[in-house]
Structure 1
Amino acid sequence: MSKARVAVLKVVTNELTVTDAAERYGFSRRHLHPGNATSTELRELIIELRLKLTSAGLDAGPVTIAWHLAQAGHTPPPSTSTIRRILHAADLVVPEPRKRPRSSYHRFEAAQPNECWQSDFTHWRLADGTDVEILNWLDDHSRYLLACTVHTPVTGDIVVTQFLETCNTHGIPASTLTDNGRVYTARFGGGKNAFEYTLAALGVTQKNGAANHPQTQGKVERLHQTQKRWLAGQPVATTPADLQAQLDRFRTIYNEQRPHRALDRATPAQAYAARPKATPPADQDQPAGHYRLRYDHVDTWGKVSFRRAGKMHHLGVGYAHRGTRILAIADDTNVTVINLATGEILSHHDIDPTKHYWRNTQRTPGRWPGVPT
């Protein structure tokens, strides 16, 4: 048996390390390692993936490329070091400035889906220069992009509407985390806004980041960067509807076709579905219903009109509150009416499709319309 074959067998059977075998039998380490077995076809595919992902504004690092190769049936995929060498050889790697070490960050992650939703909005320009705003809702645990919608501009009422629509689709979160923008909180003005009243009515804990400290909402801030890189790789939208269509495509890609390093290379959609969803503490045993809201004023008779299933009903809020601007939040079984100026819950009403008048269940029944005395 040749000396070279003996050396190889010693390494294969783990009797010697490559270094020891090379030294004992007088060979270079390179002769005991298999040659570069990456085919030309695979090299071209790696380069093609890099260019395709980069042009689309998506992550295109070695780990992401390896994930896409595995999804395409190349199992096992080349190692990330092999992919990195191929990208370097093709001059497709641009050196980046030295980054702050990850160990220096204090990282927080919710333990369950719906334990915490982060929200923020960012700006984008249409083809004619019109400034629009993109409102995002992101699950903290899974990075799942729950919703992203275009508005001109984002208002407090829009935040409440989109929050409830997102709750209708994904359930009610246990808490929210936002900055201190006026659409999210009025605490610096000594009061509350519609979003805060809505959270309180649903039992959702509200959390706000420290002033001038956007790192608290780091996940949604990084989402904005990824979102804008992707949009920059698309044809410039000419209308809000065009931009919304692009964002709908982005949301699918972000949730289902983009593995995340922090999620052990799972996609946000996989991580969001992997565990039971958290709920508000007061709602642990109650399934989430379908929520809708209505802004209105109490009329001169102390009532608020409310249409449901094509029928008009009247909510007896109280004569003392006539003229008050209110927010009515309805689920499948009841309606809660909130004073928008003070946050006071003015009335609760049980939904009864057979009656036109729904009394305030917070008050003892008396001589009210439709109520027996």
Structure 2
Amino acid sequence: MEKEIKQLRVLAVQRFKAGESPESICISLGKSRFWLYKWVKRFDEGDPCWFEEHSRCPLVSSNRTPPEIEEIVKMIRLNLYNQDLFCGAQAILWEIEDLGVEPLPSIRTINRILARNDLTHRRTGRYEPKGTAYPALPSTLPNQTHQADFVGPCYLKGPIRFYSLNIVDTATVRCGLHPSLSIASQSVLDGFWAAWKRIGIPDRVQIDNALSFFGSRRHPRGMGPLIRLCLYNGVEPWFIPMAEPWRNGMVENFNERYQQRFLGKVVMASVEELKTGSLAFEQRHNSRYRYGKLKGGTPLKALAASNVKLRFPAEDEPPRHPLEKPEVGKYHLVRLIRSDLKLDIFGERFPVPPEMMLQYVVATIDVKEQKLKLFLDKIQVEEFDYKLR
């Protein structure tokens, strides 16, 4: 049928070029003059396919999504996927809102963009860690484990230099923020106390080996302000291996979001504006941000679904520095033993057995027993006297 139609077009044009009248051609073929003149006009000796039908789709669609919007959707989806975050249409839309992009696409438009770019596939399987086993902390229930870190120094207009204590609950991804002008001992106590009043006191807090967290290299057994604060409140501090910030990966990822979505977007000129803005960002994150590890839920919804009763500080005001040395409690250091077979405890070095080489060990300091106990795969393999000063 299609072949006959094309032959009819060729025949009609040939007859017209030969001098036959349009009326005669149209009557004999059962076609209109408009049809005949259309194909006469379309005839082109240099185009062997001139008799083919052209697409009737408009060259320009008034409601077509701009190409730059499509590229933004693809870029955001890739970034969210790579960060192991929820990367559906709703999450992408919120990211676009944060960027201030106009015009704002609808959820349906975003889904169409994802579909035609084959970006609707889901992850399969779980990540299988490789190499030396690392002693991970539990993170199935709210406040089992917090990760904490300081961001800074940062600067407000003025200039005003400040730091932000960022804390993330590894089970629900709830965050707690506290900006301060320094990371001195009292500021550390104030920051953790203020955050705990909002997100609760954890069983464990995982931090890096910054002086603000452990105290002093000159007095490695002195138990710094944070260690004392934690032990007085039933919290066990866990110090990650030196030079391995990815072990605090959740709070490190959050720090990037904090810098991009808060410091990079909110203009602040005073400490009061900083405090107000930090609290607003914390509340927005906990109530609106969605994560793949929470199956697309928000941190507050994950907390509500757990039905866990949180523990909060008994006093409104934070304790004052210096705190008395605790008499009970434990704190831990995770260390990778290298070929020198030395265990580094805040600058103090202890010999370890050869079988521990290239293994991650947990060094537990028992305050009551005044002992340093070394664990490999939860089995105690060594013990040292450790007189706290």
TM-score norm. by structure 2 comes to 0.51
Report the CA distance between 1:291 and its aligned residue: 5.1
Q: State the partner residue of 1:143.
A: 173
> For residue 253 of structure 1, what is the amino acid of its counterpart?
R
CA contact (8 A) 2:174 2:199 kept: no
Q: State the partner residue of 1:176.
A: 205
Q: State the partner residue of 1:289.
A: 314
CA contact (8 A) 1:118 1:139 kept: yes
For 2:160 and 2:283, how far apart are their aligned partners in 1?
A: 26
Describe the shift of the 1:122–1:67 C-alpha distance in structure 2 as closer, same or farther (beyond 3 A).
Answer: same
Q: State the partner residue of 1:67.
A: 90
Q: State the partner residue of 1:47.
A: 69
> Could you tell which deviates more after superposition, 239-248 or 132-141?
239-248
Q: State the partner residue of 2:300.
A: 269
Confirm or deny that 1:248 pairs with 2:279: yes
Structure 2 unaligned blocks of 5 or more: 1-60, 95-104, 120-125, 329-389
Identity of aligned residues (%): 17
- Listed as ranges, the matches of 1:1-373 within 5 Å are 43=65, 47=69, 50=72, 64=87, 66-68=89-91, 78=111, 81-82=114-115, 84=117, 103-104=128-129, 110-123=139-152, 124-145=154-175, 147-186=176-215, 188=217, 189-231=220-262, 233-277=264-308, 289-290=314-315, 292-295=317-320, 326-327=322-323, 339=324, 342-343=325-326
Report the CA distance between 1:76 and its aligned residue: 11
For 1:244 and 1:267, how far apart are their aligned partners in 2?
A: 23
Report the CA distance between 1:180 and its aligned residue: 1.4
Report the CA distance between 1:271 and its aligned residue: 1.6
Q: SS of the residue aligned with 1:230?
A: helix
For 1:174 and 1:48, how far apart are their aligned partners in 2?
A: 45
For 1:63 and 1:110, how far apart are their aligned partners in 2?
A: 19
For 1:112 and 1:143, how far apart are their aligned partners in 2?
A: 11
Q: SS of the residue aligned with 1:143?
A: coil
For 2:264 and 2:193, how far apart are their aligned partners in 1?
A: 31
Q: SS of the residue aligned with 2:179?
A: strand
Q: SS of the residue aligned with 1:149?
A: strand
TM-score norm. by structure 1 comes to 0.53
CA contact (8 A) 1:118 1:140 kept: yes
Describe the shift of the 1:103–1:131 C-alpha distance in structure 2 as closer, same or farther (beyond 3 A).
Answer: farther
Say which one has the larger Rg.
2
Report the CA distance between 1:129 and its aligned residue: 4.3
For 1:173 and 1:190, how far apart are their aligned partners in 2?
A: 24
Structure 1 unaligned blocks of 5 or more: 1-38, 87-100, 281-286, 297-325, 328-338, 346-373
For 1:167 and 1:102, how far apart are their aligned partners in 2?
A: 32
Question: How many residue pairs get matched?
Answer: 241
